[in-house]
Amino acid sequence: MDNLVTPVEKVSPVNRWLVWPRVFWLALGAAALMSLTVFQVGLFGDDFIYLGILSGRVPPAPLANHAFDLYRFIPGDPAITMPLVEKGIFPWWTQPDLKLAFWRPLSSATMVLDQALFGENPAAFHVHSILWYLALVGVFALLMRRTLAGAVGAVALLLFAIDDSHAAPVGWWCNRNAVVATLPALVGLWLHMEWREHGRRWAAPLSVLAYVLGLAGGETALGVLAYVLAYELLGAKGPWRQRLLSVAPAAVLALGYLALYKKLGYGSFGSDLYVDPLSQPAAWLAVAAVRIPAMLWGLLLSISTELTLQFEGGDGFVIGVGLFAAALVGGLLRAVWPYLSEDERRHSRWLLAGAFLALLPVAATIQGDRLLLVPSVGAAAIISLVLTHVWRNRARSTGWRVLTGVAGLLAVTHVLLAPVGWYTVTGTMAHMTGSVERVYAQLKHDLDVAALPGQRVAVLTLPNPNLSLYTSIAWWARGNVLPRAWWTLSYAVEMPTLTRTGPNSLELALAHDRYFETLSERVHRSERFMLKQGDEVKLDGATAKVMEVDARGIKRVAYTFDVPLEDPSLVLLQWKDRGLRRVVIPPVGTPVVLDYGALPTSGSASAASSPQ
């Protein structure tokens, strides 16, 4: 199959652009053009953790992660976690046996290379990520060339190249792992197809090697192995015994990988952001029932998945919009099904099933477009089938003209709005970068660096997950003098009431909201393990105590320090007017509302608060 279009299709002027290799270069050019938007993004979030480690900064307490194991954030060992809590690296309410640890050595190695070659140069990091992405688009082109002939494969390639759900993996340094894991694994899938469809036996062992490299990039590669299973069950020719034997190497590899993953201490526990399907299957099923429909919305309609986090209708509404997206695209696919060739039907079955199966591993974390890279492999093919065949049959009847209008809406969201999506996603990340840089510059100006080693910094309020967790980490990563501790005491959006209760103590209370009711607050402690009234947490020179709890959650928390609140060794800060300002300490017993002045824009909740 030398071209992606048939001779009949070549008559159309449009289809002249859909001929191999012209469409290949067109897709690469489109992907590169979209990727230019990432250059507005700097470092933010977990990027600063990696920068600090790779730059050799001495942390306030020993970290679990290191250069070639950057994604082992929190190991599940209280002996490692609690000293970091005491120093403020993790918030004071962190679950002692919290685990957020992911095995991604190849992805870590690419970041080691970045830092070694470029230092702190985000633009150079982006060039590196874009090269990985262009290679991924190239491999997807090979896969389409071997599975879907004609304009269908060509359109699928273009849809994949410009898919705006790929913006975060390309533009966020720490999320590059998704591309690094997917690229070699997709090479493995293509090699599997070469073996099974064209009898090239040499491709079989190479496919397994490619899967191994993908899994070294990260657990995202498991989603590609789901396509191998789907192909052998729904797309491959031959007797069942042969098909089961053909899927066995990938299946054994996946099972062995998962066993080794757990043996080496990777996985998650104690967080509401990440729910490990292996160690918490019931909890995973509960969250996956919402997260998977939410991601169908973004996958099939190309409308930001993050919007489902803003819906006020609750989980039922999110599930509803996901099922609506599946029903809409499924209805269009059913309408064109009689007009598909036998090969198109065969390949569409396994590509569609693979896309849905690939959602299972990523449902372990909160829904977001950044998780759709692997599912979009099959989704691009299905959307292309629908768009291409509806267009071909548009003149058949009034009913087909209605379907053409519906398919036209899909074309708008998947094609015309794709550049807007790339710019919006990268613009949001750039805003996060800017907010970190602004607060960092303000602290550089305001903090007394000479006195800082003998001080503890206590930020009473910081209502933004991007800033609340990473402001102190950015300070450390850039080699600044460190205080004895740096605590952020509250992420609450509502302006709390501060009451001084003694010479060295204060309380923070919420009138309407509750502490730890947002997902960003429950990254470090699941709702299942929430603190109770009277619980205390000891820090390095301070104690936090839960004072009042009602049916909705924690209303009031007390903080007692080992020095008076006016002591120069204690720096009390609050969020106000888009920066961290000194707290004006009220007299004992006088309640004061900590006025924020202006709230920071949080951007993407799923991106800002989640370890990548």
DSSP for 495-519 reads PPEEEEEETTEEEEE-SSS-BT-ST
Q: What is the pLDDT of residue 13?
A: 61
Residue whose pair of structure tokens reads 């379907």 in the numeric block: 403
**How high is the pLDDT of residue 599?**
60
- Residue 558: pLDDT over 90: yes
Question: Is 242 a residue whose pLDDT tops 80?
Answer: yes
Whether 392 shows a pLDDT value over 50: the answer reads: yes
What lies within 8 Å, CB to CB, of 329 at 6+ separation is 300, 301, 382, 383, 386, 410
3-class DSSP state for residue 204? Answer: helix
CB atoms within 10 A of CB 60: 20
Contacts (Cβ under 8 Å, ≥6 apart) of 462: 468, 471, 488, 490, 491, 575, 580
Q: What angle do CA 386, 392, 394 make, to 5 degrees?
A: 90
What DSSP letter does each residue of 40-69 carry, written as one string? G----TTHHHHHHHHTTPPPSS--S-BTTB
User: Is 481 in contact with 500 (CB distance < 8 Å)?
Assistant: no
Is 518:489 a contact under the CB 8 Å cutoff? no
Q: Specify the residue for token string 């590169």.
A: 32
The predicted structure's pLDDT at residue 369:
96
* Confidence tier at 149 by pLDDT (50, 70, 90): confident
Rounded CA separation 278/259 (Å): 10
Task: Specify the pLDDT at position 20.
Answer: 82
Average pLDDT over residues 361-371: 95
Provide the token pair at 439. Answer: 């607060």
* pLDDT recorded at residue 313: 62
Q: What angle in degrees, to the nearest 10, is found between the helix axes of 418-446 and 150-162?
A: 20
What are residue 550's DSSP bridge partners?
A: 553
Alpha carbon distance 46, 65 (integer Å): 12
Average pLDDT of the segment spanning 22-36: 97
Q: List CB contacts of 409: < 8 A, sequence separation 6 or more.
A: none
On the CB side of 150, CA atoms within 13 Å amount to: 17
Task: Look at residue 5 and tell me whether its pLDDT is greater than 50.
Answer: no
Tell me the percentage of the chain whose pLDDT exceeds 90: 90
Give yes or no for a contact between 191 and 198, defined as CB atoms under 8 angstroms apart: no
The string of pLDDT tens digits covering residues 292-308 is 999 999 999 999 999 98
